[in-house]
Structure 1
Amino acid sequence: MTDGFAEQETEFDLSDTGFITDPEAGERWLSEPRPVCRGRFADGTPIWVVTRYDDVRAVLSDPRFTSRPPGDSHLTSMLSRGIPQDVVEIFDSTLLTMDGPDHARVRRLVTPALSARRMRRLEPVVEHIAHDLLDALADDAEPDLIAQYAHPLAIVVICDLLGVDERYREQWREWSESLAVALRPDPEQVAPAVRGMAGVIRELVEQRRARPQDDLISELVRVRDTDGDRLSDDELLALAMVLVQAGHDTVRNLICLGVFTFLGNPAQRELVRSGATTINAAVAELVRYAAPVKHAFRRFATDPVRLGEVTVQPGEAVQVVLAAANRDPEQFADPGELDVTTRSCPHLGFGHGAHYCLGANLAQIEAEVALTALFDRFPGVHLAVPPAEVEPRFLAPMPRLPVRLA
């Protein structure tokens, strides 16, 4: 058994750009869930890497692991990378950095607004947006489904949900792209993006406070102003920005990975088309198999915690790899194969426990609609380039997805 960080070779190294983009390294971490081992985070600090399904669930459900590093190290780290103080303060108010009573309070206030029932009411809106985007693709000889379909669909839907005015949407899209590089944020892009989003949200808050509408900002303002457990102003701002990322980056990745995966597995796509399985089950399997979210945010031990053969000491960081847990052969039969029929074991693609993804219901619905609309409208759609040119890398997003529609 091992106590503290083991003196062993570091195989999982997020500080190495080559590792992030290396398909072979990624495949090893997807296909070989292993005991807890040593790794390195993007800033070079050591982490324990957790890849087995049961170990990942244990970390994500154990209150002895917190989202906040010890002391002020997370604030110091962001400031040292040039992130301005005012931006750091907003980031420090997000659900991603909260635990315990504060996390439970904020989550309890916002969860009803993002319930599965409420998100299902958005389905006709998502369908309308998807069909408009597909209309625009019809005359394009070789459209890029990321830039022209997955990306705009995701940003328009989340803006509609929040109530962001149409005149801001192109700018909002640029800001959200700046925030998507969470491992290595660029202060020159992140700071103006956060300030810009915060400015728009503050403006919307004042407008909705005066004239409430049927959107999420209005609901959050109501919660902020009338409920006993109120949101602070920074919490409201931070929550809206987290929802933008959850409702944009993850959804975009899920749609384009779903298209790519279905194009490589036509028999599985036919099971959906024929009604042998549901699109709901198929998207759940795509989340497991294609892994639009590869890993959760780091957790930090507050007490000594035994994980397999390792004791994680207080203050040490743990990185769970959701993508690998979802390929664990101890939990999934033939985990490297796509199987769109209902699997008996739930995937961990949206996390688990208190920090389960708030946007999971929205992501599921948007992917169902986007994939159904695309393949119904263009059943002969196929890649315009060899698959190897656009094949997803482990921790690098697909840059493009050029197709021919017939």
Structure 2
Amino acid sequence: MAPTESTDGTTATVGCPHSELEAQPETEFDLSDPAFITDPAAGERWLSAPRPICRGRFADGMPIWVVTRYADVKAVLSDPRFASKPPGDLHVQSMLARGIPEDIVEMFDSTVLTMDGPDHARVRRLVTGALSARRVRSLRSGIERIATELLDKMDPGGEVDLIAELAHPLAIAVICELLGVDERYREQWRQWSETLAAALRPDPEQLAPAVRGMAAVTRELIEARRAHPEDDLISELVGVHEADGDRLTDDELVAMAMVLVQAGHDTVRNLICLGVHTLLDHPEQAELLRAEPDRTARAVAELVRYTAPVKHTFRRFATEPVRLGEITVAQGEAVQIVLAAANRDPEQFTEPGELDLARPDNPHLGFGHGPHYCLGAALALNEAEIAINLLLRRHPGLRRAAPAEEVAPRYLLPMEKLPVYLEETR
């Protein structure tokens, strides 16, 4: 469940006017170019060719340093001199520009995604204790049940969209089950999640009621669990909130729940559909996985590396001048980390452009690294392992129902559909 940043809508520009960033004559990586949205090849060249740190431009026009090499990416993600929260009021202005209501902005201004230093360590420590390995293990049977029910509903003789009928509903059902969201709210939360995910083209008329609605229902859920705790994550987070010493505020509880829903839904959905899409392009690898299902955990790790369900981290901002590789990042300048490219770095991976589900050494950065490593990585991997394993085992004749180029993912946008024909095991 790793978090993503396709764009955050920021309109202001940071950086020193005489920095190396401003002095470079050309922009090599321009996310404001529509080709990054419309042309799959525009992003593919950045996945396949990690390069020295270079000048770039974010989708909102902000100048950025683009970091794509594995060692450089790890260095930035480990360095406390790079902050997650933009300087000044850029984060607030970004949210307002996207249409997030002013009364909600303050709550979202400081979440685990944008906190740094002691504040981030405090919240992360409290949440990590609630989102334990025990809880993730306890969800496996529920994930298997939900995935099986979704597969049972599919018509093996017809065309099925695996995003609409498997990846999407599985992701939202599992995260709602984890949090303890009542069944009557789950369809509404699915719709809210889709609205919040439209980061590139936010519709303020839809976004404002979605954010307000999700926040209001989350507050109701918190109050209900405070009165009557159950075996779910919200109850555990409320328990942390009520404990002596360090605690989560009510706003932090609401923001954390909403972050988990959005990040967990998007990442899992993308990983499942990109994983299946890739296996359809590599039938020999899919057959290997069918024959040896015990390889699933290693195989999904390789699919994370190869498909990059999370292309970028949030931007980082230098809190002081930092020498990074061949350049110096000036105080206040933005650094964009491209996880997808780092995971194709030939200095780190043998034949990085090849899919190898049996890859023995795979220290990928698909869920980030360092203090902001994805809180829900274990849950996301469990969901993908179960869904892909069940799908391949039940439908050995799985094949596309549309040409690959028609459904190919574009660099900044998730796949919209994955139509397939199924064939059940006899």
Per-residue displacement from partner, 1:10-31 (whole Å, max 9, x unpaired)?
2322223332332111111001
* Residue 337 (structure 2) aligned to one of 320, 327, 333: 320
Q: Could you say which residue in structure 1 is the equivalent of 2:81?
A: 64
Q: Summarize the Cα distance change of 1:249–1:276 in structure 2 as closer, same or farther, 3 Å threshold.
A: closer
Would you say the 8 A contact 1:277–1:340 is kept in 2? no
Would you say the 8 A contact 2:321–2:328 is kept in 1? yes
Whole-Å Cα distance in 2 between the matches of residues 41 and 385 of structure 1? 33
Query: Which amino acid in the other structure matches residue 208 of structure 1?
Result: R
Per-residue displacement from partner, 1:198-252 (whole Å, max 9, x unpaired)?
1111111111111100001101111111241010111111100110012111000
Mapping of 1:213-292 within 5 angstroms?
A: 213-275=230-292, 278-292=295-309
Q: Summarize the Cα distance change of 1:81–1:393 in structure 2 as closer, same or farther, 3 Å threshold.
A: closer
Would you say the 8 A contact 1:114–1:361 is kept in 2? no
Per-residue displacement from partner, 1:53-109 (whole Å, max 9, x unpaired)?
001111111000001111112212332444321121122131111000110000000
Would you say the 8 A contact 2:302–2:362 is kept in 1? no
* Residue 52 (structure 1) aligned to one of 55, 66, 69: 69
Would you say the 8 A contact 1:331–1:345 is kept in 2? no
Where structure 2 has 5 or more consecutive residues not aligned to the other structure, the ranges are 1-18
Whole-Å Cα distance in 1 between the matches of residues 325 and 22 of structure 2? 14
Q: What CA RMSD, in Å, does the superposition of the two structures yield over aligned residues? A: 1.5
**1:204 corresponds to 2:224:** no
Q: Could you say which residue in structure 2 is the equivalent of 1:12?
A: 29
Q: Which moved more, 1:137-146 or 1:62-71?
A: 137-146
Query: Which amino acid in the other structure matches residue 101 of structure 1?
Result: P
Q: Could you say which residue in structure 2 is the equivalent of 1:296?
A: 313
State the TM-score, normalizing by the size of structure 2.
0.92
Mapping of 1:132-151 within 5 angstroms?
A: 132-138=149-155, 141-151=158-168
* Residue 381 (structure 1) aligned to one of 371, 376, 398: 398
Whole-Å Cα distance in 1 between the matches of residues 263 and 295 of structure 2? 24
Q: Could you say which residue in structure 1 is the equivalent of 2:5?
A: none
Whole-Å Cα distance in 2 between the matches of residues 198 and 215 of structure 1? 18
Mapping of 1:101-120 within 5 angstroms?
A: 101-120=118-137
What is the number of residues matched between the two proteins?
405
Whole-Å Cα distance in 2 between the matches of residues 45 and 75 of structure 1? 16
Q: Which runs of 4+ in 1 moved over 4 A?
A: none
Q: Summarize the Cα distance change of 1:32–1:166 in structure 2 as closer, same or farther, 3 Å threshold.
A: same
**1:360 corresponds to 2:377:** yes
Q: Cα offset for 1:279?
A: 0.3
Q: Summarize the Cα distance change of 1:185–1:314 in structure 2 as closer, same or farther, 3 Å threshold.
A: farther
3-state SS, counterpart of residue 153 of structure 2: helix
* Residue 122 (structure 1) aligned to one of 139, 149, 156: 139
Would you say the 8 A contact 1:287–1:349 is kept in 2? yes
* Residue 79 (structure 1) aligned to one of 90, 93, 96: 96
Query: Which amino acid in the other structure matches residue 397 of structure 1?
Result: P
Q: Could you say which residue in structure 1 is the equivalent of 2:195?
A: 178
Query: Which amino acid in the other structure matches residue 84 of structure 1?
Result: P
Would you say the 8 A contact 1:301–1:313 is kept in 2? yes
State the TM-score, normalizing by the size of structure 1.
0.96
Q: Cα offset for 1:119?
A: 0.7
Q: Summarize the Cα distance change of 1:226–1:345 in structure 2 as closer, same or farther, 3 Å threshold.
A: same
Q: Cα offset for 1:365?
A: 0.1
Q: Cα offset for 1:277?
A: 5.8
**1:392 corresponds to 2:397:** no
Q: Could you say which residue in structure 2 is the equivalent of 1:338?
A: 355
Would you say the 8 A contact 2:272–2:387 is kept in 1? yes
Where structure 1 has 5 or more consecutive residues not aligned to the other structure, the ranges are none
Query: Which amino acid in the other structure matches residue 178 of structure 1?
Result: T
Whole-Å Cα distance in 2 between the matches of residues 111 and 181 of structure 1? 28
Q: Could you say which residue in structure 1 is the equivalent of 2:40?
A: 23
Per-residue displacement from partner, 1:312-360 (whole Å, max 9, x unpaired)?
0000000000000000011111111101114324000000001111110
Would you say the 8 A contact 2:21–2:65 is kept in 1? no
Whole-Å Cα distance in 1 between the matches of residues 208 and 80 of structure 2? 32
Q: Could you say which residue in structure 2 is the equivalent of 1:401?
A: 418
Q: Cα offset for 1:384?
A: 0.5
3-state SS, counterpart of residue 300 of structure 1: strand
Q: Cα offset for 1:276?
A: 7.9
